[in-house]
Structure formats: structure tokens, C-alpha cells
Amino acid sequence: MTIILNSEEIKRCVRLDNKMISIIEEAFKSLALGKATMPPILRLDIEKYHGESDVKAAYIDGLDSYAIKVASGFFNNPKLGIPSSNGLMILLDAKTGVLKSILLDKGYLTDIRTAIAGAIAAKYLSNSDSTIVGIIGAGIQAKLQLQALTLVRKIKNVYIWARDIDKVNNYIRDMKKLNINLKACATPEEVVRQSEIIVTNTPSRSFIIKYEWLKKGMHITAVGSDAEQKNELDPLIIKNCDIYIPDCLSQTKILGELNHAILNKVVSSSNHYNELGNVILNSKLGRRRKEDITVCDLTGTGVQDTAIARETYRIAMHLNLGIKIG
């Protein structure tokens, strides 16, 4: 019996909260401890329509189910009046491979688990008294990242820049509900120079944040890059920061900001870096001094998908949601 859950049902089950932080932290820990099997991402590009589908999957030792996720991005869609992102997750029984559930989340669960990863990065890497956030990009993920940050830091002021001023205005209108001071900036430099925590959330193909703008004590979470050609941070930031933490080193080497630092020959591809899960397990591997500049490079991992799909299914069963197909 397979349970099909639609996006409205899924939204009733999981959201940005502290419980989800714990769940995603456990997923990162399992990855760092070598307790997860996570194959390389499958990516199918449909260049003609400026689209792509990514498939991620991970099994976490000892769990009774695992997820396979399909996430698509079709970047002409907004012109057609439909969202560019799309997706679903499939939950399978770990002992038999039997299909337990199909989660027709349209990308919602990916959005949530990505924002939660940003909150975890800030929780372990930013200075605990940080109150000023800089947001680059003004899409859904930029909104969720700010909301998620409020779970771990007392955010008082937010500076935001995005290419499209209409989207910035929409962002500020939407985020008013958080009771934070929000201010649009004319340039990314203006955002960066005023902030303590920076979150980048764009699909940019050339870097937006320059190393020379950074100041001591800053934390940056780079969320946007999840493909070879995407790049938000000056490679010198990766080279010169005090602590660089990838979500998954084998992924950031080819898909993240680290990829561009390697391509630009400012860091070696053989460098070792602790992953976010290592820092969760041992906070001494994160920020050591108040003045450290820390960077977290997020490409999105299959263990996060497995963790959030399992939790969604668990709650959906409890609430008796979904339709059953035999």
C-alpha cells in the first residue's frame, strides 16, 4: 500500500521549527560519521527549455526507510506564469524496497530542509550575538532562510539586495510579519558591509560577494550554488576565510563555491575540510574566535531529503492524511 500525499497535506506536517532543526542535524551527523550511503547526484539537463532535473538519494544506517528525490528547475517557467521549481519525494522501505509513500511536495520539502540547513550553519558558525543579517536574492529561499535564522539568532536588522527591485519590495512586504527592520540596498556591497551574517540565495553564474568587502567576525552561508556553473562567492573568500565548512565535501568540490575556488586555482582540490555534520558533532571544529570569518557552502544533500521525507510521512500517518493506492 502506497500513500500519496499532496502538497497541502505535506505543508500541514512539517514547517520551519526547532524540531526540524534537530532532525536535519541528525541527518548531517550521520553523513559525517559515515553512517549514510549517498550516491552522486543524477542530473538531467534539458538545455532546449533551460531546464534540469536532479535526483538525490540517501540511506541512513539503521533507519527503516529512505528517500529518493526528484527536483526540477525550469527557468523559463516564470514567463509562463508557473513556478520554476518542481519536485517530489519517494519514500521506500529500507528492508524490501517497497514504495511506502509518494510526497507530491512540488519542492516544498526541499525549500524547508535547505532553509533549515542555513539555520544550522548559522547556529554553529556565526557569533551568537549576531543580530544583523544581509540577504542576497529575494526569492522563496531568501525568505525562508531569514525565517529559519530567527530560530537560532535574535535578528534585529536585515539588509537585502537582489537584481530585481520589484522582488525586493515584495520580499520586504512579505517579511514584515517577522517584526524585523528590513532595508533594501542599492548594491550587494552595501548589504555585506553592514551585516554580521550573510546568506546568498541566487542562481548567479559569476560571483556577487567580493572578499574585500568582508569584515572580521562575519559568517556567510552560500545557498545558491548547486551546479557546476553557479557561483556566488569570490574564490578568495574560500581561500582566505578562517573556517570553510561544506555540507558535503564531495559535492561542494564539483557543485559548490569550493568548485570555483579550485577552478581558479586558489585552493587545492586535495584540501580536506570538515563537513557541517562534523561541526555539529564537535563545535570546536567550527568558529574558534570571535573575529573568525566563517563560510558554510550548501549544495543540498540526500540525507536531508531522507530525513524530512521520513518525518513528513510519520506525521501524515499520525494525522491519517493521504490517499492509499494498492
102 versus 236: smaller Cβ distance to a second copy? 102
19 noted as active-site residue = no
Q: Is 165 in the site for a second copy (CB under 8 A)?
A: no
Tell me the C-alpha distance between 32 and 247, whole Å: 9
Query: Among 13, 23, 27, 57, which residue interacts with a second copy (rule: CB under 8 A)?
Result: 57
Site for a second copy in 23-42 (CB under 8 A): 37-42
d(CA 177, CA 320): 31
**Cell output for 307:** 530525513
What secondary structure letter does DSSP report for 87? E
Binding of a second copy by 254 (CB under 8 A): no
What crossing angle do the helices spanning 18-32 and 302-318 adopt, rounded to 10°? 140
Residue type, 52: E
Q: Are 17 and 315 in contact (CB under 8 A)?
A: no
Minimum distance, C-beta of residue 12 to a second copy, in the bound complex (Å): 16
Region of 10-18, 67-75, 256-264, 273-281 interacting with a second copy (CB under 8 A) = 67-75
**Residues 112/311, Cβ–Cβ less than 8 Å:** no
Q: Does 86 bind a second copy (CB under 8 A)?
A: yes
> Could you give the angle at which helices 165-175 and 140-149 cross, rounded to 10 degrees?
40
Sole binder of a second copy in the list 59, 108, 161, 273 (CB under 8 A):
59
For residue 275, CA distances in Å to 134, 148, 178, 253, 258 come to 24, 20, 31, 12, 13
Comparison of 17 and 61: residue with beta carbon closer to a second copy: 61
The footprint of a second copy (CB under 8 A) covers 2, 4, 6, 37-49, 51, 53, 55, 57-59, 61, 66, 68, 70, 72-74, 76-77, 80, 82, 86, 88, 90, 92, 94-99, 102, 104, 323, 325-326
